[in-house]
Structure formats: structure tokens, C-alpha cells
Amino acid sequence: MKYVERAYPWILLAPTLLPVVIWGGFIYPYLVPKTLLFYTISLVAVGMFVMLAAHGRVFFWNRLSRRETWIPAALLALAYGTSLVGIDFYRSLWSLFVRGDGLLMLTGVVSSFYLILLSADRTFFERLLRAAALVGTFVAVYGIGEWLLGGGRIGSLLGNAAFFAGYLGITTFATLAAAESLPRAWRRAAHAGAVLQVIAIILTATRGTILALAVAGAAYLAYQAWRGEGKHRVLAAGTLLVLAVSGGLFFAFRTELAKVPFTPIARIASIGVNDPDVASRLFIWKNMVTEIEKSPVLGVGAEHIDVLFNRFYDPTLISEQWFDRSHNAFLDYAAQYGIGGLLLYLALIASFFLAAARFARRGEKRLAGILALLAVTYAVQNFFVFDTISSFWLLLALLAAALAASSEPGLREALALPAWMRPASLLFALVLAYCIVPVAVLPAVAAYDLSQAYAYQVSDPSKEISYLSHGFALGTYGNVEYGYEAYDMYGNNQVSALTGQSRSDAYQAAAAVLTANFNRYPYDARTALYLAQVLSLAPQDATVDEALLSSALTRAIELSPKRAQPWYILANLSISSANAYPVGSSGRAAGYASARDILSRYIALVPDLSEPHFVLAQLEYAAGDSASAAAAAAIGKADYKGDLETAKRAAGYYETVLDLPDAAFFLSEVIRLDPTNAAAKSDLAKIQTYERSSK
């Protein structure tokens, strides 16, 4: 037990290292190993705590008497309650590989909060700050190096610019707080680390976190100008004035600044309702509020935001195909757990101000200010982004340690437990250790198998199928993503790269996985659509279950009515059926009329979308009605807003009808949006050569 007691504080600190944990052998290598390792650490930590408590280890049990310490437990209880009556508790509990943000993660984070709260003293608090500062600085330096080598928006060891910036938005203030207890030389090093983290945040070009830092900085300067003394007050007021003027000039010249070849400045200058990303976010937020109003008390349960998103998805207003977050953490909490979840989340953030006030009363005003600014930054940035395990665990760990360190020391107490609890605690710890297998080990194997299936999808399809089948048979929470990735492998690569038996086998494997998921997850529009797409791409020698295909298309349209792909598949099925009849026959005409009706109904749903007009134009031309084809294409051209898929369809249509100027325009668009498209480059070169020779 002595060794357990010595190791316990370090186990509590271990998640600070999660940001540096990556493994290329996993699918989604930047997140999966972090979440699986966190689950393992959480189970081990809880088991060690129970053993220590049963053997008489003293803890600060009296801290649980403070009301603010029960906020995380209340949020966790509400999350479980709403998820039990929500769409699917299984999905709520486990989440997905790509997210790892379900009830299981929330349970681990809340457990960690209480383990730290009951154990932490000032020494632990300072160790946590220093560990976060060291890791945050390392991750920032790695990200800066990434930017120096490749430029663009950087994700560092978190794999995503917004995740990276959100994490650094917390560690920057943890680094400043750590400097308060360091010797002078190390304090300077900590301040340098904080500066590096701010530089890395700027290089991510993540506008939400940059704005959050600006708000925090303005709040600090305003407070100093109001309550500061002497030179500090004058300096703060002057700096605030300079920043206000600079901000006004930036806004006045933001059209020109948006053209600056430095992504952070260009992205900030482009903020406005006309910016596609901003317009998309505003549309999503507006419709998310409408969906929340339909179930304001119970929400839909954890990890089901995508169901709401699919209901109002509109390709003319949303640039992303699939969303499982609203890019606003406050709306996410309200959608998943109802208004109660939102209020508890706000209370969680507000708890930082309670800890800050206690530090201030103890004379540690600088530390108090840093904690308050951390809370402000986190709240503002999460209005535009959302958490990962690295940022959310650190937030609650810092809160628990701050609440502990800012309170009166109190007395450590041991629970008066009967002697039989000691062997029982060991048994409990062993059970938790065994839980690591289904919680972390099997998902790790499944994630590895999926990555290997990807590696062999074309070079050795038999191996790909073997890995895919083995990983899916493990029955982990990654089975939904097995369907997504099976579609991607077959629909986007194997259809064109494989022939004969290899293609047939790949088709059967993808269809089997998606069919199983289609039956298991009736609320998932993405699975329904991907199944329909795979079935529609069946090899000629395969027997397609027409009833299953029809059911998949019907469900896909019901769950996400404005999504184009299922409508196109329906139209193509009608065309294929029509082509089985002779030219000029009534059967062929009826098939084309059915396809025309399907496309017309979809166009009525999204009249401003350019692409379906070109699909209709191709259909009309194939049916022999050149005038109607030209009219549909003219509407599509007028509505064109610069997307790759539409440009491809338009180029194909204009090449078919030999309208070379329009074909050249859309081929140029294809090359602009996809510079690697060799076929478009070749076709454009042929048109240009022909036009030169004709002059």
C-alpha cells in the first residue's frame, strides 16, 4: 500500500501528458490514443483511491460541504438522466472514435475532479500548474515549428487548429499562474513559455480563441485603468486607448487586410455576415436554438447533436457535409442536456470566480486575476469552439485544485470503515482494472484494425477485408465509424481501383458492415446514405437487395431532407431503369419523367443550389430535349457560387454539348478548387489548343 500511496498523486497528474500522446497506428491518431489512455488512467486512479480510503488514508472530506463542489456531480447526473431518455444511450455513453466525448469521458473527468479535490494541497496545485505550463509550452513550440515548415493553420499534437488553440487558451493562463510561485529565473522562462503559447494561438488562425484572448486582455486593462494605482493605471488606460484606436483602424481597412497573405490577419479581417464560415455558423446557431426549443428540458442526450444538425442541413447555407457539434459549447450543452445542462455548465465556469475571490481575500490578487481571466477566455472561446479531452480535463483539474488550494486547509480525515472493506477494495480495484479491456484495450485493437484496413484497401483487398471484419466483430463503440470508413474505402477508392472478385469482395464487406449499422442505428442519416451509395455502386455480378436500397434512401431523406445525394441516387435508379427500354419507347420516357420529377422536387426544396440544375440539364439532354437542358444549365450557372462538385458537373455538361467557352470556365474552376485534378487540366488544355487553332 505504501507504493500505491506514493504513486497516487502522480496518477492524478498523469492526464497533463495527454496532449503529447499520438500514435500513427490508430485511425484518428491525434485523439484516439489520448481518450483511451485517459479511460485507463481514470479507472486506475479510482481503484487506487478506493484502496487508499479503505486502508485509512486521510482525505479532505470536509471540502464536499461546499455547494460549488457538487456542480460537476449534478451535471454528470443530469447528463446520464437525459441520455437514458434520449435517442440512444449506448451512443451517448461511448461516443465515437473521432470525438471521444460521451458520458464515459465526462464520468472520467468528473471522477478526476473529485479525486483531486479530496487530495490536493497547495503543493499539488503548483505541480499541476507547472506540468500544464511545461506541456503547453512544448506543444506550442511543436506547433510553431510545424508552421515554420509548412505554414497554414496548424494543429500541432492535437491534430486540429481549433482544438490546439482551445487547449492553449487554458495552458497560457496556467503558465502565468505557475510563474507566481517560481524563482525569478524560472519565472522569466514561464513568461516566455506563455508568450510562445500566445504566438502559437495566433498562428492557428482560430478566430474564437484569438477573440477570447483579446477580450481577456481588454478586461484586464479596463480593470487596471479603473482600480490600478499610479503609473500602472495610466499605462493601462493609455494601452486600452491605443488598442481601441487600432481596432477601429483595423475594422475600417479590413477589406484590404483580408487580402494580406498572413492567414491569422486575413481570417480576422474577413469576419462578417458575408464571410461563408460566419454565415454558416450563424445559420447553424439559429436553427440549433429552434431545435433546442423542441425539447428544452430533456434535450436529446449526449452525442446526438448530429441528429439535430441533419434535420436542418441546407447545402446552400452550410459548407460542411456532416456536423456533430454546433461550434458553440453552450448550445451543445443545451441541446444534449436541456436548459439545466446549460445552467450547470455556466455554473462550472463561474466556479473559477469563486476560487479567484478566495485567493484575492488571502492577498494573492495576481493569481486571482489570472484565474478570472482564464475563466473569461475559456467562456468566450467556447462560444465558438468545443472541448476535447485535453482541454476539458485540464479545466476541471485546475478548478478542483484551485478550489482546494484557495480554501482553508481544514483537517484530513479517514473514513471509519469495517475491516472487511480492505480486501473488498482490492477486489473492486481488480474489477476496475479488468474494465480496461472493454473500455480501452478492445477499442484500441479496433482502431488499429481500421487503420490497417485503410492501409491495404487497394494494395491487398483480402487483408483489408480481414482487418475490417475482425475489428468490426469486436463489437466496440467504433462500429459506426467502421461503416463510415468502409464506405469511404469502397465508394471513393475501391470502385475505381479494383476489378473482378476483389471488387466484389470489397463490396460485400462494406455492404455487410453498413447493413448491420443501418439496422442498429435507425437515427443515423449518414449510415443510411452511405449504405444506399454502396448498394448503388454494386458490381454487375452482385445481387442488390432492392428493398434495402429503397429503405435506406427513404430513411436518408426523412432524416436529412435537403441532402442532395439520396435524391441523385433515386434519379439515377430511374434513369437506369429507363435505359433498359428501347429509345423512343414509353417505358424509357416514363423512366426519364420519373427522374425529372425527383430532381424537380429536390430543386423545389433547395432552389438556390446550383448543382441539381446541371444534373437536370444532363438528364434533359440525354432525353433529347436540348432546349430544356440549356434552360436548366443557365439557372445552374447563375446560381453557381464556387464549389468543386458543381464545377465538375457543369464542366461535364458543357463538354457534352460542346459549349467550349463555358466548359473552359468550369474546368478552370475545377483546377482552382482541386489543383491536383489531372483530367481537368488535360481537358482544359485541349479546349485551349482547339480555340487557338480556330482563330
Q: What residues form DSSP beta bridges with 413?
A: 59
- Asked whether residue 516 falls in the same domain as residue 545, the answer is yes
Q: 552, 575, 598: which is the final residue of a domain?
A: 598
pLDDT at 576: 87
Alpha carbons within 13 angstroms on the beta-carbon side of residue 565 total 22
What distances in angstroms separate CA 117 from CA 362, 394, 535, one per listed residue? 19, 13, 54
All three cell numbers of 41, joined, read 488512467
Instruction: Compute the distance between CA of residue 449 and CA of residue 445 in angstroms, rounded to an integer.
Output: 6
Alpha carbons within 13 angstroms on the beta-carbon side of residue 171 total 34
All three cell numbers of 493, joined, read 477508392
- Asked whether residue 535 falls in the same domain as residue 592, the answer is no
What is the dihedral sign for C-alpha 92, 97, 101, 104? Answer: positive
Of 333, 329, 326, nearest in space to 311 by CA: 326
Phi-psi region of 95 (alpha: psi -120 to 50; beta: other; left: phi over 0): left
What distances in angstroms separate CA 166 from CA 163, 170, 278, 359, one per listed residue? 5, 7, 18, 25
Burial of 177 (0-12, 13-18, 19+ CB in 10 A): buried
What distances in angstroms separate CA 340 from CA 76, 81, 291, 384, one per listed residue? 11, 11, 16, 21
Query: Would you say 260 and 266 are in contact if contact means Cβ atoms under 8 Å apart?
Result: yes
Phi-psi region of 141 (alpha: psi -120 to 50; beta: other; left: phi over 0): alpha
Of 258, 267, 264, 314, nearest in space to 286 by CA: 314
Residue 545 included in any domain: yes
- For residue 622, the domain's CATH number is 1.25.40.10
Complete DSSP assignment for 292-320: HHHSTTT-S-TT-HHHHHHHH--TTT---
All three cell numbers of 315, joined, read 447545402
Of 608, 618, 613, 610, nearest in space to 644 by CA: 610
Of 103, 559, 105, 81, nearest in space to 299 by CA: 81
Question: What is the CA 239 to chain-centroid distance, rounded?
Answer: 37
Residue 681 included in any domain: yes
- Asked whether residue 558 falls in the same domain as residue 571, the answer is no
- Asked whether residue 676 falls in the same domain as residue 619, the answer is yes
Please give the model's pTM, rounded to 2 decimal places: 0.93
Instruction: Compute the distance between CA of residue 356 and CA of residue 372 in angstroms, rounded to an integer.
Output: 6
pLDDT at 185: 86
Residue 171 included in any domain: no
Residue 631 included in any domain: yes
Instruction: Compute the distance between CA of residue 211 and CA of residue 201 in angstroms, rounded to an integer.
Output: 11
Of 112, 154, 68, 78, nearest in space to 395 by CA: 112
Instruction: Compute the distance between CA of residue 30 and CA of residue 469 in angstroms, rounded to an integer.
Output: 24
All three cell numbers of 397, joined, read 483539474
| Cβ neighbours around 432 below 10 Å, total | 18
- Asked whether residue 553 falls in the same domain as residue 471, the answer is yes
What is the dihedral sign for C-alpha 121, 127, 129, 131? Answer: negative
pLDDT at 102: 95
Query: Would you say 501 and 480 are in contact if contact means Cβ atoms under 8 Å apart?
Result: no
Instruction: Compute the distance between CA of residue 421 and CA of residue 406 in angstroms, rounded to an integer.
Output: 33
| Cβ neighbours around 2 below 10 Å, total | 6
Question: What is the CA 425 to chain-centroid distance, rounded?
Answer: 38
pLDDT at 461: 94
Instruction: Compute the distance between CA of residue 556 and CA of residue 291 in angstroms, rounded to an integer.
Output: 19
Instruction: Compute the distance between CA of residue 358 and CA of residue 364 in angstroms, rounded to an integer.
Output: 9
The type of residue at 603 is I
- Asked whether residue 647 falls in the same domain as residue 590, the answer is no
- Look up the domain containing 675 and give its range: 608-695
Residue with cell 472520467: 108
- Asked whether residue 543 falls in the same domain as residue 462, the answer is yes
Of 107, 138, 167, 163, nearest in space to 394 by CA: 167
Burial of 654 (0-12, 13-18, 19+ CB in 10 A): buried
- Asked whether residue 591 falls in the same domain as residue 666, the answer is no
- Asked whether residue 586 falls in the same domain as residue 530, the answer is no
Burial of 215 (0-12, 13-18, 19+ CB in 10 A): middle
- Asked whether residue 620 falls in the same domain as residue 593, the answer is no
pLDDT at 411: 67
The type of residue at 629 is A
Q: What residues form DSSP beta bridges with 59?
A: 413
3-state SS class at 659 = coil
Query: Would you say 463 and 442 are in contact if contact means Cβ atoms under 8 Å apart?
Result: no
Query: Would you say 89 and 83 are in contact if contact means Cβ atoms under 8 Å apart?
Result: yes
Residue 337 included in any domain: no
Instruction: Compute the distance between CA of residue 206 and CA of residue 268 in angstroms, rounded to an integer.
Output: 9
Residue 571 included in any domain: yes
The type of residue at 204 is T
Residue 443 included in any domain: no
Of 597, 660, 650, nearest in space to 623 by CA: 597
The type of residue at 190 is A
Question: What is the CA 440 to chain-centroid distance, rounded?
Answer: 21
Query: Would you say 73 and 112 are in contact if contact means Cβ atoms under 8 Å apart?
Result: no
Q: At what angle do helices 305-312 and 329-361 cross, to 10 degrees?
A: 130
Q: Per-block average pLDDT, block size 10, for the chain (695 residues)?
A: 89 97 92 96 96 90 92 98 97 94 96 96 95 97 94 90 95 97 92 97 94 93 82 82 83 78 83 81 94 95 96 90 91 97 97 95 94 97 92 97 86 75 90 96 97 95 96 95 96 93 95 97 97 95 92 97 95 89 86 92 94 93 90 94 91 92 93 92 87 73
3-state SS class at 59 = strand
3-state SS class at 283 = helix
All three cell numbers of 681, joined, read 487540366
242 Cβ contact partners less than 8 Å away, ≥ 6 residues apart: none
3-state SS class at 163 = helix
Instruction: Compute the distance between CA of residue 122 and CA of residue 355 in angstroms, rounded to an integer.
Output: 13
Q: How many domains does the chain contain in total?
A: 3
- Asked whether residue 464 falls in the same domain as residue 558, the answer is yes
Residue 515 included in any domain: yes
Helical H runs in 407-457? 421-436, 442-455
- Asked whether residue 578 falls in the same domain as residue 645, the answer is no
Query: Would you say 531 and 503 are in contact if contact means Cβ atoms under 8 Å apart?
Result: no
